Amino acid sequence: MASIPVSIETVDGTVFTNGHDVQQYDVIIIGAGFSGIANLHRLRGHGFKCHVFEAGSDFGGVWFWNRYPGARVDSETPFYQLNIPAVYNSWNFSSRFPDHVELRKYMAHVDSVLGLRKDVSFNTRVNSATWNDPASEWEVGTETGIKATAKWLVLATGLLHRTHFPEFLGLSEYKGTVHHSGAWPENTSVKGKKVAVIGAGATSVQIVQELAKEADQLTMLMRRPSYCLPMHQRTWTEEEQTAWKGYYPSLFAAGRNSAVGFPTIRSPKRVQDDSPEEREAYLEALWTTGGFQFLLRNYNNVVLDKEANAVVYDFWKRKVKERLKDPKKQALMAPDEAPYYFGTKRNPLESDYYDVLNQRNVDIVNLVASPLRSFTPTGMQLEGEETPRDFDVVILATGFDAYTGSLTHMGLKNKDAIDIKDVWADGVKTYLGIMMHGFPNAFMVYSPQAPTALSNGPTILEAQTDFICDTINMLKEQGVKSIEATTEAEEEWRSGMDAMIQHTLYPFTNSWWNGSNIPGRKAQNMTYLGGIDNYERKCREKMVGWKGFEVIAT
């Protein structure tokens, strides 16, 4: 369903642009979310003939697919948008943290201002991408039969797109309704229903926060709780935003020159440098600010030092226990002993999540103590319980095949005709989180082995987009046939990333951040911890003399 009605003639008009059976472009971009839009706009502005293939029926990427109740971004206004003056000068968000409906309206506005649609094929899922070495070009095929070629390939397929369905025993026998959060049918009501939500991550927090207000009974089944932070949502007036727009260029520049995409500065102090009274006052001030400020401006050793981490966790635990009234729910959602180190797994933002958990119609099940044995025709059977639990609706908030899922299911093959899923069978290998050995003239955006998970999305993807555009421009001027990363450069990049994370607390926590949420997958550091500013500086340094690249002249 498109966010704004579009005639089929308009959509069809984007499919065959040159009247040939095989379309020919300078650049093919796969994906029409933030990353695809940024690359299309930037490269098209430099005179390249570009085309985007998108599986969905409209722009939006993750925000086209994510329509579950409560779906909302946790990067705040004005930073969660593209740094394009023509777009932001004529657009106003309604709140500090926009929801999925407003974000699709924003995407439609971007399209209207920039005239993107004419260069996009919607409802067109790519199922093959192979390198033709004699022609030095990529050949792309789609499920709809479209074939296209281009010298350059940009993979803007997203970080969290391919849904993860765990193999629950007996699920096929269940007669009730099952929804994955990533494929939610809009206008679905659970009024008067008994609902089970499996998972307690960021998506579950948003879903439970909304559906518990409507369902007759809601049960959340979890392995470990999320450490939620207060969102402190607020509305923005048009007058406020108009007044602030004069500062946008400076704010965006400061965000780009920061570690995470927000112009904030972490405290120069360690937790131990302040007295207990000073720490309490400082942590309280961060807490009341809302959003990610409690993470971004906290003491500088929170994810480095176990003692410091425990102090911050204890503060968080006390805040949550003040909200929860039931001692059993307190013990589950804010355990006395931290189940994992604070800040080493995503911290969701919440508005009234803990207040909703107080409701009598909400139950919480610890799947570690009472594992899910199997589904039944009417619900599920838990270990240690004699009677099965009945549910009308089961919601799988079980996450995504993150980082790699969208790339390993599209028929992408390297120059030796080996599928990327096999190339990456023993772990992800990239250079700069943008290019890969064996994949000439191919680039990734919002990708593994970049600062992706720990940064504001639009900021990091624009840094990568600028690198891609400048690289293509420079190589065109130099008359280059192809460029690809060397295996030595990939190994150096991975080793450098692992060296950075080695002395932190991140390796002690498994989550989608290291790919361990997918059964059988090897846990691996996927995140460059040096920050966007240092990351972009590194990328630019490698462009001088094309260090770590094999460049073949025409």
Give the pLDDT confidence of 119-164 residue by residue, as tens digits: 999 999 999 999 999 999 999 999 999 999 999 999 999 887 778 8
Q: Which residues have C-beta within 8 Å of that of residue 58, sequence separation ≥ 6?
A: 1, 2, 3, 4, 6, 32, 64, 104, 107, 108, 122
| pLDDT at position 303 over 90 | yes
Beta bridge partners of 442: 153
pLDDT over 90 percentage in the chain? 89
Q: Are strands 177-180 and 480-485 parallel, antiparallel or unpaired?
A: unpaired
pTM value?
Answer: 0.94
Handedness of CA 435, 440, 443, 447 (dihedral sign): negative
For 8-162+402-553, CATH number out of 3.50.50.60, 3.40.1000.10, 3.90.1640.30, 3.40.50.300 equals 3.50.50.60
Beta bridge partners of 550: 484
Quick one: pLDDT band at residue 187, thresholds 50, 70, 90?
Answer: confident
Q: What confidence score (pLDDT) does residue 515 get?
A: 83
Alpha carbon separation from 232 to 75, 94, 103, 293, 453 (Å, rounded): 12, 14, 19, 11, 22
Q: What confidence score (pLDDT) does residue 8 get?
A: 29
Q: What confidence score (pLDDT) does residue 163 get?
A: 81
Q: Which residues have C-beta within 8 Å of that of residue 274, sequence separation ≥ 6?
A: 282, 299
Q: What confidence score (pLDDT) does residue 152 get?
A: 98
Distance of alpha carbon 367 from alpha carbon 495, whole angstroms: 36
Alpha carbon separation from 203 to 45, 186, 208 (Å, rounded): 36, 16, 9
Quick one: pLDDT band at residue 406, thresholds 50, 70, 90?
Answer: confident
Q: Assign residue 197 a region: left if phi > 0, alpha if psi is -120 to 50, beta otherwise?
A: beta
Domain boundaries, the chain: 8-162+402-553, 171-396
